[in-house]
Amino acid sequence: MTPQLPTRQAILDRRTYEPPGEGRADKLRLDFNENTAGCSTKVQRALAKLTPKLLSMYPEYERGTRRLARHFRVAYEELLLTNGGDDALRLFFDAFVDAGTTAVIIEPTFPMYRYWGEVAGAKIEVQRYGLNMEFPLEGVLNALALKPRVLFVCNPNNPTGTLLEITVIEKILQAATHTAVVLDEAYAEFSGLTVIPLIHQYPQLFVARTFSKAAGLAGLRLGAVIACEESLAILRRATAPFPVNVAALTAAEAAVGDPKTMKLYVKNILRTRAWFEKELHKLEVRTWPSAGNFLLADFGPGGSEMCSQLQAKHGVLLRDRAKEISPGIVRVSIGTQKEMERLLKLIKRYR
């Protein structure tokens, strides 16, 4: 029986977000850009030290936040920790977007920008990447002239892998005089580029980061927002008193305390990505240049069927992007060298 509850129309109108399916642990997970090599062993040791007393307390944040602020090379007051990167994105709608006001996104991109926008009842203005995944700079600048509440730019962009240079980002920031500009740098460790140094020059700039990718802590849900102190104070007003659990904070401290593991992982991913891309080209599979830990590839008319068969018969998970982009387009997360060699052998069966 359908409950007769006074539900907001924005909730009734939107589709629910479909998270990864259950039972993925024993499969080859190349669908959600996870770190398949696993987190640092120092993280495991740090988590083992959490006592029943610590777990029974509400978390304390100052020491851990100061440690993570040093990692990002910002002041303590310039860092806000969140319950995963997804929750960080929600804060921008809570703080800046009234129902009916405008948020700008550039699709195809991370679906959570649209998700939270629809939940908030925002008007979503969409700019689109070109056929060759060109960033629509002119369209974005024109949209900013109308003073939208917030603009989301994923850099490198997921799923295209494209990367905006600092000069282009500054053009956007200079045009965004009345707009909060969110640079989502979930994959910054792989691109080697960050706009964090610009937060003092542009108070409208907010940088979103995550510990789910390079640090390998997706299961613990820890994100961060970096901005100048005065701008970040606005987001703090929309934040819950205890947004981050003690296990996530403990793990993140241990992860940044082991930079060698993270750097080696990133180095291996970049090398494996380049190798895998060359192998796909030998199979006449088109790819787009990527600055993330994934590749966007065009497997042609049989791309969706290949994804289905790989999952059903071989336990290999890829992300079919046919609906969002065009038939045949698949996003492939880059795993370890052995994992990608296994995937390549299977792909050859369907070419």
Per DSSP bridges, beta strands 102-107 and 150-154 are: parallel
Question: What's the CA gap between 298 and 296, in Å, rounded?
Answer: 7
- Residue closest to 197 by CA, chosen among 177, 173, 178: 173
User: Helices (DSSP H) in the chain: which residue ranges?
Assistant: 9-13, 41-48, 52-56, 62-72, 84-96, 112-120, 137-144, 166-175, 188-191, 229-236, 246-256, 259-282, 303-314, 337-349
Question: What are the sequence ranges of the domains in the chain?
Answer: 21-38+260-349, 41-256
Query: Between 3.40.50.720, 3.40.640.10, 3.40.50.1100, 3.10.620.30, what CATH number should domain 41-256 receive?
Result: 3.40.640.10
Q: Which two tokens stand for residue 3?
A: 């409950």
Give backbone dihedrals phi and psi of 17, rounded to 5 degrees, phi first: -80, 135
**pLDDT on residue 1:** 58
Q: Which two tokens stand for residue 345?
A: 């052998």
Q: Is 284 left (phi over 0), alpha (psi -120 to 50) or beta?
A: left
Task: List the chain pLDDT tens, one digit each, 351 residues.
Answer: 557 788 788 777 777 766 667 788 899 999 999 999 999 999 999 999 999 999 999 999 999 999 999 999 999 999 999 999 999 999 999 999 999 999 999 999 999 999 999 999 999 999 999 989 999 999 999 999 999 999 999 999 999 999 999 999 999 999 999 999 999 999 999 999 999 999 999 999 999 999 999 999 999 999 999 999 999 999 999 999 999 999 999 999 999 999 999 999 999 999 999 999 999 999 999 999 999 999 999 999 999 999 999 999 999 999 999 999 999 999 999 999 999 999 999 999 987
Specify whether the CB–CB gap between 72 and 226 falls below 8 A. yes
Q: How many CB atoms lie within 10 A of CB 110?
A: 19
**pLDDT on residue 20:** 65
**End-to-end C-alpha distance for the chain, whole angstroms:** 48
Whether residue 156 is preceded by a cis peptide bond, meaning omega within 30 degrees of 0, is yes
- Residue closest to 148 by CA, chosen among 167, 127, 165: 127
**pTM of this structure:** 0.95
**pLDDT on residue 279:** 98
Please state which CATH number belongs to domain 21-38+260-349.
Answer: 3.90.1150.10
**pLDDT on residue 17:** 65
**pLDDT on residue 194:** 98
